[in-house]
Amino acid sequence: MDGTGRPGDEELVRLAAAGDLDAFNRVVDAYQDSVFALCVRVLGDRHAAEDATQETFISAYRAIGRFEGANLKAWLFRIAVNQCRDELRRRKRKGQAISIDTPFDDGEESRLDVPDAAAGAPELVEQRELGAALNALLLLLPDDQREAVVLVDVHGYPYEEVAAMTGTSVGTVKSRIFRGREKLRALISARPELFPGWPRQDRQR
C-alpha cells in the first residue's frame, strides 16, 4: 500500500535533520493518525497508545539524521513497533495483562469509530461493529502475531516490509500471520453472534 514515500517527505526530512522543528512537526501532522492507529491496535489501550505515539515522534526527531530510504512512514512504524514492544514488556513485568473486556479502556471505543455523521447506512454500522469486535479479538493474540496481523491486514504492508519493521525474517512473518489469522478465524466461528457482518454466516444459512 505504502510502497513509496509521500511527495515532499524528502524535503521535510532534510529540513528536520538540520534542526527545523516546524518541518518535523509537519511530518508529525501527516503521520500521527497512522502511528496512533498502529499503537492503539497493538497495545489495546488508548492512553498507552498516546504515550507510545509521542515517544515514537520524539525518538524519530532525534534519529531523523540517520533516516535513509524512501519510505518515511515505514521507518516511523518501525520505531512505533519498538515503542509498543517496550510498553508490552513493561506491562508484562508489572504482571498486567490486557483484557478483552476492556479492550479500549472504559467504554471509549466509540472514539475509535468514524464520526456520527458517517453513521446511517446500516452496512456502515455493521462494519463499525465488526471492526470493533475484530479489534477486541486482536488482543487475544500473542503480541508478535497481533503485531504482524495489524501491519499486514490493517495497514496493508507486504510481508517483506513487515519483516524489516519487526526485525525478523519473511518466513517468521508468514508463520505469525498464519497462526494469528488461524486463531482469529477459529474465534470468529466459535462466537458468530459477535460478528453480525461476517459473510460466512450468510453462506451457511
What is the rounded CA–CA span in Å between residue 121 and residue 44? 27
Contact in structure between 83 and 56 (CB atoms under 8 Å): yes
Contact in structure between 103 and 109 (CB atoms under 8 Å): yes
* C-alpha cell, 10: 524528502
Question: Would you count residue 172 as binding other proteins (CB under 8 A)?
Answer: no
Specify which residues 121 forms β-bridges with: 119
CA angle 112, 59, 74 (to 5 degrees): 60
Question: Would you count residue 203 as binding other proteins (CB under 8 A)?
Answer: yes
Question: Would you count residue 63 as binding other proteins (CB under 8 A)?
Answer: yes
Residue of the chain from 114, 142, 191, 192 that contacts other proteins (CB under 8 A)? 114
> Which residues would be at the binding site for other proteins (CB under 8 A)?
21, 24-25, 28-29, 32-33, 35-37, 40-41, 46, 50, 53-55, 57-63, 66, 78-79, 81-83, 85-86, 89-90, 93, 111-114, 118, 127-128, 130-131, 134-135, 152-154, 156, 158-159, 166-168, 174, 177-178, 181, 184-185, 188-189, 197-200, 203
